[in-house]
Amino acid sequence: MSVARCAHCGAPLELAEGARRARCSYCQHDQDVSSLVKAVERPVTSSAGGRYTAGQPVLCEWRGQWWPASIVEVLGDDLYLIHYDGYSSSWDETVSASRLALRSAKVPRAYAGSGIAVGVIIVALIAGVGVASVVLRGGGSSSPSATSAPAVYATPGQLVQGQAVVVQWSGRWWNATVIAVYPDGRVRVHYDGWASSWDEDVTIDRVGLR
């Protein structure tokens, strides 16, 4: 297997031996690579050979978009430690050369400055979800709160429609009512005080009696 760069977006292209055409997995362009084959019919340049160097600005692919980054350290075996521009070092990661491209490459880039923008958006979304959950639950300071763990857990065949129970959700227990019982032992519950959009099908091991 040989490796070259896409003529359209600069992303890595893997070429089977003897291949004359290839499709880029990023931009989906088919292209004639016969002119590239001779140039790449050699072992892939390892990081020891210096494909990228420490401190070099690059683009790094993450979830389908290319983000500005820089090489922190060349690790060998075509692996690099990179730092995303505008992000804390907790986002640093080790990547292979196949996820890296030069800053000049024509690839689907993430929004410039999104290191700050994404953080703001995430905080806004979290705040929005918090407000939305209060509205869904009926709003105000009297919104339902979690309850204590049950003394007795439900067993298969024990639950009936309309029965008051407690249900484990996200590590805590909440008052609920059984609204449907399924043949496979699962039940559908409505969380007391919450909108019906929170109704959920749960397994018996998450249900206790009250």
Domain boundaries, the chain: 1-44, 144-210
Output the pTM of the full model. 0.36
- Identify the residue with better confidence: 15 or 141: 15
> CA-to-CA distance for 12 and 66, rounded, in angstroms?
13
* Res 207: pLDDT: 94
Contacts of 85 (CB under 8 A, 6+ apart): 67, 68, 69, 70, 115
> CA-to-CA distance for 110 and 71, rounded, in angstroms?
18
End-to-end CA distance of the chain: 64
The residue length of the chain stands at: 210
> CA-to-CA distance for 62 and 98, rounded, in angstroms?
11
Structurally, at CATH architecture level, domain 144-210 sits in: Roll (2.30)
Look at residue 143 and tell me whether its pLDDT is greater than 90. no
Among residues 168, 209, 206, the alpha carbon closest in space to that of 186 is found at: 206
Largest CA distance in the chain: 75
Give the per-residue SS3 of 47-93. HHHCCCCCCCEEEEEECCEEEEEEEEEEEECCEEEEEECCCCHHHCE
Q: What is the mean pLDDT of the chain?
A: 75
pLDDT digits (tens, 9 = 90+) for 9-18: 666 666 666 6
Look at residue 177 and tell me whether its pLDDT is greater than 50. yes
